Amino acid sequence: METVVLPYWVFIILMLFAGIMVLDRMILPSMRWYLKRRVNRVISEINSRLDIKIRPFQFTRRQELIDQLVFDEKVLDAIKTYADDQQMPQAVAQTKVRKYAAEIVPAFNAYIYFRVGYWLAKNIARMIYRVRVGFYDKDKISKIDENSSVVFVMNHRSNMDYILVSFLVAEKTTLSYAVGEWARIWPLQALVKAMGAFFVRRDSGNPLYRKVLERYVNLSTRAGVCQAVFLEGGLSKDGSLRDPRLGFLDYMLRDYHPHTDKDIIFIPVGINYDRVIEDRSLIRGQIQPANKKSIWFVLKTSFGFIFKTALLSRKNRWRRFGYANVNFGEPVSAKAYCNKNDVDFSSLETDARFTQVDQLATSIMDNISNVVPIVPSALMSEVLLQNADTWQSEFELKVQCSKRIVELKKLGAPIDISKNTLENVLSSALTAMLGRGILEEKQNLYRINPAEIELYEYYANSIKKWK
């Protein structure tokens, strides 16, 4: 018998190849089968209790959705027009479209959404705020036709809105958000896409990109994917509701045929906080344009905030940040709206269509403003501003707040502060203001810190509808 001697490097290479083959042919298929089985079990469990089921569109392979967008008839027309205008080959324009589609289309993963995202959202929201939900008639959501497309339309107070609403409606449905470019950093980008969100280049003037985005929004809406839209388009910098942005509503409605298409149900959502985390930066941005911060600065600031907050006791956290309130308003049916107003968005020219979309958006914004919660800090800010230069006792401030609550209830304002908890709630609001240094105290008398007038106006503006 002749012995064959191999160099060490050849032996190592052979062992590596053998290991790769075992991994590829035996271990990975078994792991994929195991993981897929667990995911399917989670999906079956979740779908059995959701009022609005997860749509087949959300389980479609991401690459198929990208191809569907790239070869969409209207996108192909846009490619030809864009290529002619830019004097470039259509193949180059189509490559751009594929890049835009890959950027926009999410990679929804039900397991990550409910086992990771929901857990994170719930714990972060409860770590910072005392969460309260009002005017939430679950029967109205459960009674919505299961074939309808549901769109939660919200005011935009804070970046916490994404976390708060996702947590609160997770027992009813999954939400697909439009997320700005701020979230396109690793590893946040992968998590955001797995949660079903899609990235948007806000204020992009590129007609080819806008067409791809339009077609994705239209396709997902027609497929019944439940979406969440901030109708204002961005964060409020002065605390007031902003005028509605019409882009996303127009994308949903421009090809909508009320007599043949499934209904689109808009659910108004009002959000308010005792303390908005970004309040000072928003106010500064209103006075002077904010310099763009680096990704590392944003990450450092965010993780520093989370770390410091986690170190506080639960009582101190709640006292510091107070309540986060969410109210759900009366659903608005697109089909009923079209029938009542004799409107067919799909048959209108651009200007006429935008006029009709603007009327619908204004109506929905009115519904949102009707359900924006009256939180203690906004109420106290309004009272303090009325006598900004006068020193007042805690008792006097509470009496004025009590009288204002009676007025608000007569007006039908969404206020949910009971008589039993009123004194403690208002005391906590004052304590939080003192802790932030925005309220001056002298011999048990209180007055607004003159340097913080704009901050008080910011919070009072959130309920100025009821003046």
Same domain, 314 and 380: no
Query: What's the CA gap between 226 and 47, in Å, rounded?
Result: 14
This prediction has a pTM of 0.83
| Model confidence pLDDT, tens digit, residues 253-298 | 998 998 888 999 999 999 999 999 888 888 887 765 555 555 555 5
Boundary residue ending a domain (352, 371, 390):
371
Q: Provide the residue range defining the domain that includes 333.
A: 63-371
Same domain, 227 and 345: yes
Same domain, 332 and 400: no
Specify if 42 maps to a domain: no
- What SS3 string covers 146-185? CCCEEEEEECCCCCHHHHHHHHHHCCCCCCEEEECHHHCC
Same domain, 347 and 405: no
Residue 291 contacts residue 102 (beta carbons within 8 Å): no
Specify if 22 maps to a domain: no
Same domain, 213 and 175: yes
Query: What's the CA gap between 256 and 367, in Å, rounded?
Result: 22
- Mean pLDDT value across the chain: 83
Specify if 256 maps to a domain: yes
Same domain, 193 and 271: yes
What's the average model confidence in pLDDT over 45-74? 83
Per-residue confidence band for 334, with pLDDT thresholds at 50, 70 and 90: very high
The DSSP line for 83-121 is HHHHT--HHHHHHHHHHHHHHHS----HHHIIIIIHHHH
**How far is the CA of 224 from the CAs of 174, 177, 358, 411, in angstroms?**
11, 14, 23, 37
Specify if 187 maps to a domain: yes
Boundary residue ending a domain (319, 338, 371):
371
Specify if 294 maps to a domain: yes
Q: 33 pLDDT exceeds 70? A: no
Contacts 24+ apart (CB under 8 A), 118-124: 118/166, 118/167, 118/170, 120/163, 121/163, 121/164, 121/166, 121/167, 121/170, 122/167, 122/170, 124/163, 124/306
The CATH number assigned to the domain holding 283 equals 3.40.1130
How many structural domains compose the chain?
2
The CATH number assigned to the domain holding 424 equals 1.10.10
Burial string for 132-156 (b: 16+ CB within 10 Å, else e) reads: eeebeeeeebeebeeebbbbbbbbb
Task: Give the end-to-end CA distance of the chain in Å, rounded to a whole number.
Answer: 102
Query: What's the CA gap between 272 and 372, in Å, rounded?
Result: 6
Q: 337 pLDDT exceeds 70? A: yes
Same domain, 308 and 404: no
Pairing of strands 149-154, 264-273: parallel
Pick left, alpha or beta for residue 412 (phi over 0 → left; psi -120 to 50 → alpha; otherwise beta).
left
Specify if 364 maps to a domain: yes
For residues 340 and 140, which has the higher predicted lDDT (pLDDT)? 340
Query: What's the CA gap between 57 and 225, in Å, rounded?
Result: 7
| Model confidence pLDDT, tens digit, residues 178-237 | 877 666 666 566 777 777 788 888 777 789 999 999 999 999 998 888 888 999 988 888
Same domain, 86 and 204: yes
Query: What's the CA gap between 361 and 453, in Å, rounded?
Result: 32
Same domain, 366 and 412: no
Same domain, 181 and 289: yes
Same domain, 336 and 276: yes
Same domain, 345 and 392: no
